[in-house]
């Protein structure tokens, strides 16, 4: 079953304003959950008491973490303020989640080496980059070929956590494998360009206008592209 017209309008609202796909998916999930929880009433008919009751349910009945409860709150406040242009109160009368975050499991260098020995090929390269350059998973899959600086042994990370850019080190041991990966990406690009419907890699509107041919250039291709072409849901173009 597809989305309701209301949720579709929220998705369009967020896409136009360039919210990330992860944020859109997350917000739509919690907004829909909020509506279903309140017997499928439209958010415009629901007030602060209903929001607080929902947040209390998440903490007490669902046992979600404080971070998850906060995301749900942000999604509901977003739809009330930004989409419906309605005021939201202080929202203090709800039970806050007391579930503590788990401490991260940190592997020793010996354990990391043992793990990498079990891997091979592209998977090993990706995991090695995560470990060696301190990348987050989403940062890894967003890397473009041009973000790898072999001369200075650096990796450029764009729009990381908090929308910030940064430079991280590149382990010299990975240079040979990365150059082989780029040759593989170039072969994929050559094959993709033989498809008359192929519209190039995704670029933001601003970049597309500034560099109209960049979507076909090797430097702008994803370093770890998908295994097949797909339809861009925003433009309905093959990418």
Dihedral angle sign, alpha carbons of residues 40, 44, 46, 52? positive
C-alpha span between 190 and 195 (Å, rounded)? 9
> Across the strands, what pairs with 222?
144
Q: What pTM value is reported for the model?
A: 0.73
Between the CA of residue 219 and those of 149, 186, 215, what are the distances in Å? Answer: 11, 9, 9
C-alpha span between 171 and 2 (Å, rounded)? 46
Least confident of 76-85, 146-155, 200-209: 200-209
Q: In the chain, list all ranges with CATH 1.10.150.130.
A: 5-83
In the chain, what percentage of residues exceed pLDDT 90?
76
C-alpha span between 57 and 54 (Å, rounded)? 5
For residue 222, the tally of other CB atoms under 10 A from its CB is 16
**Nearest Cα to Cα of residue 68 among 37, 29, 106:** 29
> Across the strands, what pairs with 234?
none
Distance of CA 186 to the CA centre of its chain: 25
State residue 103's pLDDT score.
80
For residue 210, the tally of other CB atoms under 10 A from its CB is 10
Q: In the chain, list all ranges with CATH 1.10.443.10.
A: 109-220
Q: Which CATH number among 1.10.443.10, 3.40.1190.20, 1.10.1840.10, 3.30.70.270 corresponds to the domain 109-220?
A: 1.10.443.10
Answer yes or no: is pLDDT of 1 > 60: no
pLDDT tens digits for 60-99? 999 988 889 999 999 999 999 999 999 998 887 787 776 6
Q: Three-state SS string across the chain, please?
A: CCCCHHHHHHHHHHHHCCCCHHHHHHHHHHHHHHHHHCCCCCHHHCCHHHHHHHHHHHHHHHCCCHHHHHHHHHHHHHHHHHHCCCCCCCCCCCCCCCCCCCCCCCCCHHHHHHHHHCCCHHHHHHHHHHHHHCCCHHHHHCCEHHHEECCCCEEEECCCHHHCCEEEECCHHHHHHHHHHHHHHHHHHHHHHCCCCECCCCCCHHHHHHCCCHHHCHHHCECCCCCCCCECCCCCCEC
Fold annotation for 5-83: DNA polymerase; domain 1 (1.10.150)
Q: Across all residues in the chain, what is the average pLDDT? A: 92
C-alpha span between 163 and 213 (Å, rounded)? 26
Which among 31-35, 64-68, 89-93, 155-159 has the top mean pLDDT? 31-35
């Amino acid at each position: 079953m597809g989305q309701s017209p209301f949720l579709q309008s929220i998705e369009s609202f967020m896409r136009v304003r360039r919210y990330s796909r992860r944020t859109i998916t997350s917000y739509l999930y919690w907004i829909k959950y909020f509506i279903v929880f309140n017997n499928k009433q439209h958010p415009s008919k629901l007030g602060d008491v209903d929001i607080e009751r929902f947040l209390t349910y998440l903490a007490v009945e669902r046992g979600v973490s404080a971070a998850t409860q906060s995301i749900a709150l942000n999604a509901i406040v977003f739809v009330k303020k930004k989409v419906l242009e309605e005021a939201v109160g202080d929202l203090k009368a709800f039970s806050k989640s007391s579930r503590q975050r788990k401490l991260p499991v940190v592997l020793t260098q010996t354990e990391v080496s043992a793990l990498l020995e079990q891997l091979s090929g592209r998977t090993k390269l990706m995991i090695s980059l995560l470990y060696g350059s301190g990348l987050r998973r989403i940062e890894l899959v967003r890397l473009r070929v041009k973000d790898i600086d072999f001369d200075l042994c650096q990796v450029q990370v764009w729009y990381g956590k908090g929308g910030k850019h940064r430079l991280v080190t590149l382990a010299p041991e990975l240079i040979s494998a990365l150059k082989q990966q780029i040759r593989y990406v170039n072969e994929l690009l050559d094959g993709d360009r033989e498809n008359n419907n192929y519209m190039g890699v995704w670029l933001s509107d601003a970049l597309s206008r500034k560099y109209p041919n960049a979507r076909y250039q090797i430097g702008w291709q994803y370093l770890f592209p998908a295994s097949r072409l797909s339809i861009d849901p925003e433009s309905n173009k093959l990418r």
